[in-house]
Amino acid sequence: MEKKLWGGRFKESTNKLVEQFTESVSYDKRLAPFDIAGSVAHVRMLAKQGILSKEEADRIVEGLHKVLEEVESGKFEWKTELEDVHMNVEKRLTELVGPVGGKLHTGRSRNDQVATDVRLYVRHEIEEVLKLLKELRRAFLKQAEEHIDVVMPGYTHLQIAQPVLYSHHMLAYYHMFKRDEERFRDTLKRVNVSPLGSAALAGTSYPLDREFTAELLGFEGVTRNSMDAVSDRDFVAETIFNCAMVMMHLSRLSEELIIWSTEEFGFIELPDAFCTGSSIMPQKKNPDVSELTRGKTGRVYGDLMAILTILKGLPLTYNRDLQEDKEPLFDALDTVKMALKVNALVVAGMKPKAERMREQARKGFSLATDLADYLAKKGMPFREAHRVVGELVAYCLDTGKELDQLTLEEFKRFSDLFGEDVLSLMSVEGSVNSRNVIGGTAREQVLKEIERIKSEESF
């Protein structure tokens, strides 16, 4: 019977099914580079503190670098019976450098080790997500800049409401993904602290310099309670929540792109390279990327529910349940990264159909609010103006006209306050440009906002 690294007190070897049930190496092996980085820092610190000799530390570090090379070149032989990434790395280290490898784990437990690995991994992944979020924001900004003259209907309840600039609509998404960035950056503060030195749960009797290890690993500080440190996975839940929020935003975008690219709307043309065909209907061009983004949002929500549920009943401190944090975490990050990448390309490649959008922007009595405001500005109480314009809309419905087709004579039938100037007011551009407040859709405001964004972000 081959002994486990922890096998001293055991008389029987582990049941094969139990090995399969309890292993995590099949998925946590992706943590190897972080595990090794954490071990190198730990060993350097042990040497600095005189707990290991300089020679011992050097041999271990050299061995760890060899292990990393094997991992990166794909030569490393992962073994299920060694349970997880930590045991696999340590076992191989000892094969390479001999018994001195056994000194690596001095003053450390897998409990603070795995917490460290996951924090380093999450920090790395958040940096990746931040880059991808920026790419996506850049694509929205570019759309906004390039199509500043395109007017489209703005909707509430998916009913035509008021004309808006397509650029304004694009910048609405810019802001969602900007908030997502802020959320990830905020999470990073709580991710980037070192649990090393917490050991199994109570700290350690070795004179470790926790701050030194933290510094070597680029952590901003050290955790302040060893029991919390080995059982805290709040940062995992937060990270998955942030991913879920990004996916929710992408899913809303997807829903709009799907609707906009229908024959019925015809607002945009999606790039061919990002659509797929039908095996039976030759004419079809389907927005599968958007549909799958919407679908994958469900799975990331599932990851969030999984981590919250895994954590909810855990007594302090470490429990093996915590091993289950990894698959939802990896899945959420993998999914969000792919979704961000592909959607940035979709957004960059889509083309608004300006004519069609403008045509629809006139419809649905989208200028009714402008008319009510017109009367109110001439002194009529807004509520009364609202009623008068409602009657005008009813008249249009009866006669099959749009508001911009009415004559001055017709307007006057509903109120004396209507004058010649009402006719020039009845244009979608006029309507858009009248909404000249900060955050409004007027061209002047949208152009200002584009400039503000460009001064804030280095695109």
The residues binding ligand ARG (CB under 6 A) are 24, 28, 84, 110-111, 114, 318, 320, 322-323
Q: What is the DSSP string of 90-153?
A: HHHHHHHH-GGGGGTTTT--HHHHHHHHHHHHHHHHHHHHHHHHHHHHHHHHHHHHHTTT-EEE
Nearer to ligand ARG, 114 or 176 (CB): 114
Between CA 119 and CA 236 the distance in angstroms is 8
Shortest Å distance, C-beta 111 to ligand ARG: 5
**Of the two residues 35 and 181, which places its CB atom closer to ligand ARG in the complex?**
35
Q: Which of 145, 158, 166 is nearest to 355 (CA)?
A: 166
- The active-site residue, picked from 73, 109, 157, 167, is 157
CB of 176 to ligand ARG, least distance (A): 34
Q: How far apart are CB 326 and ligand ARG at their closest, in Å?
A: 6
Residue 89 or 268 with smaller CB distance to ligand ARG: 89
Read off the DSSP letter of residue 208. -
Residue 201, Cβ density class (10 Å: 0-12 exposed, 13-18 middle, ≥19 buried): middle
Any alpha helices (H) in 363-437, and if so which ranges?
Answer: 368-377, 382-399, 408-412, 421-425, 428-434
Residue 141 burial by Cβ neighbours in a 10 Å radius (0-12, 13-18, 19+): buried
C-beta of 118 vs 144, nearer to ligand ARG:
118
Smallest gap from residue 60 Cβ to ligand ARG (A): 20
- Least distance to ligand ARG, CB of residue 89, Å: 12
Q: How far is the CB of 227 from ligand ARG (least distance, A)?
A: 14
Cα Rg of the chain (Å, integer): 31
- On whether the CB atoms of residues 329 and 236 are closer than 8 A, the answer is yes
Work out how close the CB of 356 gets to ligand ARG at its nearest, in angstroms, rounded to a whole number.
54
Tokens representing 223 are 């955790």
Element (H, E) at 163: strand 159-165
Does the annotation count 157 as an active-site position? yes
Q: Which is nearer to ligand ARG, 112 or 238 (CB)?
A: 112
- Asked if residue 442 lies in contact with residue 432, where contact means CB atoms within 8 angstroms, the answer is yes
Q: Identify any residues that bridge with 109 across adjacent strands, giving them in sequence order.
A: none
Nearer to ligand ARG by Cβ, of 123 and 233: the residue is 233
SS3 315: coil
Distance CA(218)–CA(169), nearest Å, equals 40
Measured from the CB atom, the residue of 47 and 93 that comes closer to ligand ARG is: 93
Instruction: Point out the catalytic residue in the list 13, 26, 53, 278.
Output: 278
Q: Position of tokens 């795995």? A: 114
Question: 453 Cβ partners below 8 Å, 6+ apart?
Answer: 141, 171, 174
**251 assigned to active site:** no
The nearest distance, CB 318 to ligand ARG, in angstroms, is: 6
Q: Which is nearer to ligand ARG, 180 or 331 (CB)?
A: 331
Cα 318 off chain centre by: 28
Give the active site residues: 157, 278
